[in-house]
Structure 1
Amino acid sequence: MTTDIVFSDATRLAELIRTRQVSPVEVVQAHLDRIAAVDPKVNAMVTVAERALDDARAAEAAVLAGGALGPLHGVPFTVKDSIDTAGVPTQRGSPIFKGRVPEADATSVARLKEAGAILLAKTNLPEFSYWIESDNLLSGRSNNPWDLERTPGGSSGGESAAIAAGMSPLGLGTDLAISVRGPAAQTGIVSLKATHGRVPMTGIWPRAPRRFWHVGPMARSIRDLALAFSLLSGPDGQDGYASRTVAADAGLGTAPGRPLRVGWLVEPGFGPINPEVAATVQAAAEALKGAGCLVEAVRIPALERDFALDVFNKLHVMEIKPAFREATAGRGRDELYTMAKTMLALPDTSMEDYIAAEQAAERLRDGYAEYFRRYDALVTPVLPIPAHKHGVTEFVINGQTVDATYLQGATVPLNVTGLPGLSMRFGTSNEGLPINVQVVASWQAESTILQVAALLETLSPVRDLHPSL
């Protein structure tokens, strides 16, 4: 029963609790036991919430009392350690913030709690939530549960590793360029970066550059993403970007009365892509075609004219450095890890290049807008390669040598443009590692993404696989 609990999705756990087949105390205790058993190897957790079992007992009492229960009543969840949690340390992957305990929950955390979910633990991340591998001076390096010599990604790598290893059924991560979708791909779970502004960033640091940051759910199933998104989205009166009033679809979308039109794209526009990853994207496209969608290979000229990663780099350096300078002012270099030192040492973008990058970002938005006039969805890679070994900073992909930032080539266009994207497993590498695909739709069209992903989930050749630890 314990194994069934720790590898069940959040929706199933909520159903078992609601129907009194299992108690919230049993569910939370099973996850605490799993953490004790496997986290010494994985190092996904930073802080376990001291009140988790007390909250579970209160949730159990509510079930026995027969009152109304929230959709996630009694279900544990974990939170990346850059997201504020009232009374539980939020230390941002840095000794500078060691022991910092927020007084209030981030909006996203508060909304999951309002739905009845129980905060279980905080998860690891890179320093300042800023790199593609989750490692820092405060809590060390997280490992991939599929291969401990490999990374679970960044910046939400601790979260992805926790869910993949059965330590959590549901979590919150943040995404500046890759950080919920890439880690999900490296550990074979699912994640959603919604349209920019759909989920408030209140209570999350860093906020700069605000127009690129997102917070989103990470989980085991598409239905969990749909449920979490329905709970998380909507204005909170504090985040000015979270001002859109389009209602979030609590379900998995409805068919438009005709076959869905889906394009798939591997190259060009994202940089070089590993053949195994390319084959997985094509396999997903073929599966959708076999299920009745209108599917064809496509190209998006705007991605070929303006490489989104270059655009992003020219824009975000100028905007994030002031936040880094403020956070590190008066602190010794021994309190700074790799990325803070790197960012602070980078030259500022010239105003000419900055303006050119802004114009390129507009062209990318226009290019996607043109694409979505003709198609409902787009299927692409998430990462150009499966999970890589720790500490690798240069890769040879299809004979081309690229630095580690190229891992963001297929994900960062959605941050530059604000488009929604979902990461889900659809393949396995020759080395037994997960390979995910990315499902993209137009702005505010999360229901379309969830519909396509739910269909792919039923067609996937790699359902219900878990790492052996």
Structure 2
Amino acid sequence: MSNDIIFSDATRLAELIRTKEVSPVEVVQAHLDRIDATNDRVNAVVTVVGSALKAAKAAEAAVMAGAPLGPLHGVPFTVKDSIDTAGVLTQRGSPIFRDRQPDTDATSVARMKQAGGILLAKTNLPEFSYWIESDNLLSGRSNNPWDLTRTPGGSSGGESAAIAAGMSPLGLGTDLAISVRGPAAQTGITSMKATHGSVPMTGIWPRAPRRFWHVGPMARSVRDIALAFSQLAGPDGQDAFAGTLRPGTRLAAPHGRPLRIGWMVGPGFGPVDPEVVAVVKAAAGALEAQGLVVEPVGIPALERDFALDVFNRLHVMEMKPAFAAAIAGRRPEEIYKMARTMLSLPDTPMDAYIDAEQAAERLRDGYADYFSRYDALITHVLPVPAHKHGVDQFTIDGQTVDATYLQGATVPLNITGLPGVALPFGMSGEGLPISVQIVGAWHAEGTILHIASLLEAVSPMAGRHPAL
């Protein structure tokens, strides 16, 4: 039963608990055992919550007493270590924040608990959530459970690795440019970056630039993402960006007509490996076979303004003050290389910054024009499958680019605030997951989750897990 538990999705576990087929104690213990058995190789979990079994016993008592149960009652979940957890270490991947223990939960964590979820553990990340690989001076490097010589991504790489390895059925990550979708793609799980502001960022650091940061669910199934989002979304009275939605809204898929979907791998995203292109085409074909209207498309705005360049000109200027304040008075050896690199970059000249702001508006307009004609867009998440540790330059389809180009297809959604789901839909020749990204119009989470569920039902990745 233990193996069945650790590779069941959260929705199934909640059903089994509700019907008394399995107890919350059994579920939590199975995941704790899995952490004990695998984390020394994967290094995804950085803190195990000592009170998790006690919470599981209380959850079991509630089931036996016939008490009202939340939709995630008794289900364990994990949280990226940049997200505050009351009474549990939140160290942000940095010796600067060693032993930091918040007094209150982040809004997203509180809402998962209100739904009945049991906080199980905190997961690894790059220092300050800033890089595409999860490595730092405090807790070290996380490994990909599909191939330990490769990265599970960043910045939510510990979270993606924990879920892929069976240490957790469900978790929370954050996303500035790639960080819930990229790691999900590298480890073969599912994740969603919702419309900007849908889920409050209260209790999460860093938040600058706030207009690009998101917090989102990571899981093993589309229905888990939908369930978690229904609990997470809505204003909290503290994050002003999260002021327009109510929890559980906009989850219904459109009815009455075939969905119209475009697919593209460029231009406008940078080079893409042919294996990845083939998976995107296969996903498009799978949707067409199910009766949707699918065709190749282009978005001229992405060709005019390269989103990664726009992002780089904007975010460095806005993040540097927060990083500089955090490290003030600290010794250089306490700061990991990526934070040092970012702080060493020159400030964007004001005319270039203003031009980047205008480019961001043009990108939003370009997507608005696209979504006036289409319901969704299918792209790749990453231009290559999970890569070896420490790689800072790639040759992709004959073109040599630096590692930031891995964000080419994901960062446009952070600049524009559009929602996107990452979903595994194929394997590379080396046996590594390859995912697609389903992009929707603003607040169209219901549409992209519906499309993701259609793809999930026919995905060649269904039921596949890394052999650890």
Query: Which residue in 1 is equivalent to 2:96?
Result: 96
Report the residue type matching 2:439 in the other structure.
Answer: V
Query: Which residue in 2 is equivalent to 1:248?
Result: 248
Query: Which residue in 2 is equivalent to 1:461?
Result: 460
Query: Which residue in 2 is equivalent to 1:76?
Result: 76
Report the residue type matching 2:321 in the other structure.
Answer: P
Alpha-carbon distance in structure 1 between the residues aligned to 2:254 and 2:243 = 27
Provide TM-score, normalisation by structure 1.
Answer: 0.99
Alpha-carbon distance in structure 2 between the residues aligned to 1:464 and 1:39 = 22
Deviation of 1:169 after TM superposition, in Å, equals 0.1
What is the 5 A alignment of 1:443-458? Answer: 443-458=442-457
Deviation of 1:250 after TM superposition, in Å, equals 7.5
What is the 5 A alignment of 1:252-291? Answer: 253-291=252-290
1:367-389 superposed Cα distances (whole Å, 9 cap, x missing partner): 00000000000000000000000
Deviation of 1:246 after TM superposition, in Å, equals 5.4
Query: Which residue in 2 is equivalent to 1:191?
Result: 191
Alpha-carbon distance in structure 1 between the residues aligned to 2:139 and 2:78 = 16
Report the residue type matching 1:289 in the other structure.
Answer: E
Q: Which secondary structure state, in structure 1, belongs to the residue aligned with residue 25 of structure 2?
A: helix
Q: Which runs of 4+ in 1 moved over 2 A?
A: 245-251, 253-256
Query: Which residue in 2 is equivalent to 1:418?
Result: 417
Query: Which residue in 2 is equivalent to 1:373?
Result: 372
Deviation of 1:288 after TM superposition, in Å, equals 0.3
Q: Which secondary structure state, in structure 2, belongs to the residue aligned with residue 120 of structure 1?
A: strand
Deviation of 1:254 after TM superposition, in Å, equals 2.8
Q: Which secondary structure state, in structure 2, belongs to the residue aligned with residue 374 of structure 1?
A: coil
Query: Which residue in 1 is equivalent to 2:21?
Result: 21
- Contact 1:188-1:424 within 8 A present in 2 as well: yes
Mind listing any 5+ residue stretches in structure 2 that lack a counterpart? Answer: none
Q: Which secondary structure state, in structure 2, belongs to the residue aligned with residue 146 of structure 1?
A: coil
Query: Which residue in 2 is equivalent to 1:51?
Result: 51
Alpha-carbon distance in structure 2 between the residues aligned to 1:390 and 1:297 = 34
Q: Which secondary structure state, in structure 1, belongs to the residue aligned with residue 301 of structure 2?
A: helix
Provide TM-score, normalisation by structure 2.
Answer: 0.99
Query: Which residue in 2 is equivalent to 1:430?
Result: 429
1:88-127 superposed Cα distances (whole Å, 9 cap, x missing partner): 0000000000000000000000000000000000000001
- Contact 2:360-2:415 within 8 A present in 1 as well: yes
Mind listing any 5+ residue stretches in structure 1 that lack a counterpart? Answer: none
Query: Which residue in 2 is equivalent to 1:161?
Result: 161
Alpha-carbon distance in structure 2 between the residues aligned to 1:248 and 1:351 = 41
- Contact 1:191-1:219 within 8 A present in 2 as well: yes
- Contact 2:233-2:246 within 8 A present in 1 as well: no
Alpha-carbon distance in structure 2 between the residues aligned to 1:26 and 1:256 = 41
Q: 1:32 to 1:181 in 2, by over 3 A?
A: same
- Contact 2:10-2:169 within 8 A present in 1 as well: yes
Deviation of 1:459 after TM superposition, in Å, equals 1.6
Alpha-carbon distance in structure 1 between the residues aligned to 2:456 and 2:450 = 10
What is the 5 A alignment of 1:297-376? Answer: 297-376=296-375
Alpha-carbon distance in structure 2 between the residues aligned to 1:43 and 1:240 = 35
Deviation of 1:247 after TM superposition, in Å, equals 5.4
1:186-219 superposed Cα distances (whole Å, 9 cap, x missing partner): 0000000000000000000001000000000000
Query: Which residue in 2 is equivalent to 1:112?
Result: 112
Counting matched residue pairs gives 468
- Contact 1:80-1:158 within 8 A present in 2 as well: yes
Report the residue type matching 1:164 in the other structure.
Answer: A
Deviation of 1:248 after TM superposition, in Å, equals 3.4
- Contact 1:208-1:319 within 8 A present in 2 as well: yes
- Contact 1:77-1:121 within 8 A present in 2 as well: yes
- Contact 2:193-2:420 within 8 A present in 1 as well: yes
Deviation of 1:307 after TM superposition, in Å, equals 0.3
1:248-285 superposed Cα distances (whole Å, 9 cap, x missing partner): 3485x233310000000011010000000000001000
Query: Which residue in 2 is equivalent to 1:406?
Result: 405
